[in-house]
Structure 1
Amino acid sequence: MKIEKNNQLLGQARKLRRDMTPQERKLWYLFLRTYPLKIYKQRIIDSYIVDFYCAPAKLVIEIDGSQHYSQEGQEHDQRRSEALARYGVQVLRLSNREVNGEFDAVCQMIHQTIQDRIRAL
């Protein structure tokens, strides 16, 4: 299934690319930017803007701050993950704390997940 894109979100996606969180910036500049497969930052999928997207693996990487742990945040994330799953996209959720304190393990987890997804697709 072709992934749809709500172009009305383009301005917001551009703003989010410029104003990445410290954890997104760290992950982007120290790992994802030079990853052997193309990874996009603040990519529009359907009516959502995802933190990072690896198209060959159909993998979204989300870096979750505190707002994601509220009841409302968790419900929103669930709806979003279900919408993305309709396109065959898997969501890998990581916390700010993990990116800050376990960076090497986070990078290894992302790499392994990408490799597993590519083999499975």
Structure 2
Amino acid sequence: MTTNRLTPRSRGLRQLSGLAEDRIWARLRGGAVDGWKVRRQHPIGRYVVDFACAPLRLVIEIDGGVHERDEVVLNDHYRQQEIEALGWTVIRFTNAEALTDPARIDAAIRERAKTLGL
């Protein structure tokens, strides 16, 4: 699958997001964290990620309870390896972390920018 073929899927996923993703999106949209533009349900390679900050090559995934199942953990591992092979850094937060401590996500974006010297 190419990125162009994933675009309709990514648009559909935006309509199906959960509470944690919606709250994080409200926090990140419009460059709210130091002006860094973040895209929601963004295609990368053959996957659609929850959030991506292209200038930082940073993927932010918000994982619900299903991500604790063994087969999903394994799939997430391979998926993350493929995304990282494309030059992206992937960080993960649980729904609970995203809802109770959203400032950690802001801090992760800032830390990535600092690591890159930006």
* Structure 1 unmatched runs, 5+: none
Q: How far apart are residue 39 of structure 1 and its match? A: 1.0
Q: Which residue of 2 aligns with 1:26?
A: 23
Is 2:8 the counterpart of 1:11? yes
Q: Which residue of 2 aligns with 1:81?
A: 80
Structure 2 counterparts to residues 60-79 of structure 1, below 5 A: 60-79=59-78
- What is the CA deviation profile of residues 64-109 of structure 1, one whole-angstrom value per residue up to 9, with x for unaligned ones? 0011111111111111111011111010101101011122233223
Kindly provide the amino acid, as one letter, of the partner of residue 48 in structure 1. Answer: Y
- What is the CA deviation profile of residues 16-45 of structure 1, one whole-angstrom value per residue up to 9, with x for unaligned ones? 122321111101112343230211110101
Q: Secondary structure at the match of 1:94?
A: strand
Q: Does the 8 A contact of 2:42 with 2:52 survive in 1?
A: yes
Is 2:58 the counterpart of 1:46? no
* Structure 2 unmatched runs, 5+: none
State percent identity of aligned pairs.
Answer: 29
Quick one: distance in 2 between partners of 1:67 and 1:113?
27
Structure 2 counterparts to residues 82-97 of structure 1, below 5 A: 82-97=81-96
Kindly provide the amino acid, as one letter, of the partner of residue 93 in structure 2. Answer: L
Q: 1:38 to 1:31 in 2, by over 3 A?
A: closer
Q: Secondary structure at the match of 1:63?
A: strand
Q: Does the 8 A contact of 1:67 with 1:73 survive in 2?
A: yes
Q: Does the 8 A contact of 1:98 with 1:106 survive in 2?
A: no
Q: Normalising by structure 1, what TM-score?
A: 0.84
Q: 1:6 to 1:30 in 2, by over 3 A?
A: closer
Quick one: distance in 1 between partners of 2:104 and 2:36?
19
C-alpha RMSD of the superposition: 1.9
Q: Normalising by structure 2, what TM-score?
A: 0.86
